[in-house]
Structure 1
Amino acid sequence: MKIFYSLLLAGTAVMAQQNPNDVALAENPVQQHDMVQQVTVAKKRTEHTVKPVMHQDNNRLYMSAINMQYAFLVQPDEDNIYLSTLTLPLMKAAFESEGHPGVFEKVGFNTLVKIELLENQNNVPGSKIEGFEQLAIVTNEADAKEFSIKLDKEIALSHNGAFVQLTIVGKSDAEGVLAKYEPTTETYKDANGNDRFYLDYCQPNFPLTSRSKGTLTYVKNPNRKVMEWEAINEPSLHAIKKYPDFNIGFGYTVVSYK
Structure 2
Amino acid sequence: MKHTLRINLLLIFFFFSFHGMFAQQRLLTVKDSITNETLPYASINLLNGFGLFTDENGQVNLERDTPKTIKITYMGYASKEIFIDKLTSSIILLQPQANALSEVKVVNSKKGKGKRKDFTVKPHLHDNISKMYWSSIGQQYAFYIPSTKKESILKSVTIPLIVKDIHQGMTETSFATHPYGTMVNIAFMTNTNQLPDKKLNEYEKKVVIHSGKVTDNITINFEEEIEIPEEGLFLTMTIIGKTNKQGIYVPEMPYAIRELPDRKKKIIKIILPNYALVEAPKGQLTYFRNVFSDITKWERITRPMVYKNEKEYPFLNVGIGYTFSGY
TM-score clears 0.5: yes
Quote the offset at 1:222 in angstroms.
6.0
Contact 1:109 1:141 in 2 (8 A): yes
Q: Matches of 2:222 and 2:150 in 1, distance apart?
A: 20
Do structure 1's residue 245 and structure 2's residue 300 form an aligned pair?
Answer: no
Question: 2:195 maps to which residue?
Answer: 124
Contact 2:211 2:272 in 1 (8 A): no
Structure that is richer in helix per residue: 2
Q: What's the secondary structure of 2:135's corresponding residue?
A: coil
* Stretch moving more, 165-174 or 216-225: 216-225
Identity %, equivalent residues: 28
Question: 1:215 maps to which residue?
Answer: 284
Do structure 1's residue 51 and structure 2's residue 122 form an aligned pair?
Answer: yes
Question: 1:205 maps to which residue?
Answer: 274
Q: Matches of 1:252 and 1:204 in 2, distance apart?
A: 18
Contact 1:199 1:222 in 2 (8 A): no
Deviations 1:85-136 (A, max 9, x none): 01110102221217x9x99985733111101111111111111112211111
Q: Structure 1 residues 236 and 45, CA, compared in 2 at 3 Å: closer, same or farther?
A: same
Do structure 1's residue 73 and structure 2's residue 141 form an aligned pair?
Answer: no
Question: 1:94 maps to which residue?
Answer: 165
Contact 1:95 1:105 in 2 (8 A): no
Q: Matches of 1:242 and 1:197 in 2, distance apart?
A: 28
Q: Structure 1 residues 239 and 139, CA, compared in 2 at 3 Å: closer, same or farther?
A: same
Q: Matches of 1:128 and 1:140 in 2, distance apart?
A: 29
Question: 1:155 maps to which residue?
Answer: 226
Q: Matches of 1:45 and 1:166 in 2, distance apart?
A: 28
Contact 1:197 1:224 in 2 (8 A): no
Deviations 1:14-52 (A, max 9, x none): xxxxxxxxxxxxxxxxxxxxxxxxxx9996342111111
Q: Matches of 1:183 and 1:234 in 2, distance apart?
A: 23
Q: Structure 1 residues 174 and 156, CA, compared in 2 at 3 Å: closer, same or farther?
A: farther
The aligned length equals 208
Question: 1:177 maps to which residue?
Answer: 248
Q: What's the secondary structure of 1:253's corresponding residue?
A: strand
- Unmatched segments (≥5 aa) in structure 1: 1-39, 188-195
- The root-mean-square deviation of aligned C-alpha atoms, in Å, is 2.9
TM-score calculated relative to the size of structure 1: 0.71
Q: Structure 1 residues 140 and 44, CA, compared in 2 at 3 Å: closer, same or farther?
A: farther
Contact 2:143 2:236 in 1 (8 A): yes
Do structure 1's residue 228 and structure 2's residue 297 form an aligned pair?
Answer: yes
Q: Which has the larger radius of gyration?
A: 1
Q: 2:133 aligns with which of 57, 62, 72?
A: 62
Q: What's the secondary structure of 1:204's corresponding residue?
A: strand
Q: Matches of 2:163 and 2:303 in 1, distance apart?
A: 20
Contact 1:208 1:249 in 2 (8 A): yes
What amino acid does structure 1 have at the position aligned with 2:319? G
Deviations 1:161-208 (A, max 9, x none): 100010011111354311241233879xxxxxxxx9742211110111
Q: Structure 1 residues 250 and 184, CA, compared in 2 at 3 Å: closer, same or farther?
A: same
Contact 2:138 2:292 in 1 (8 A): no
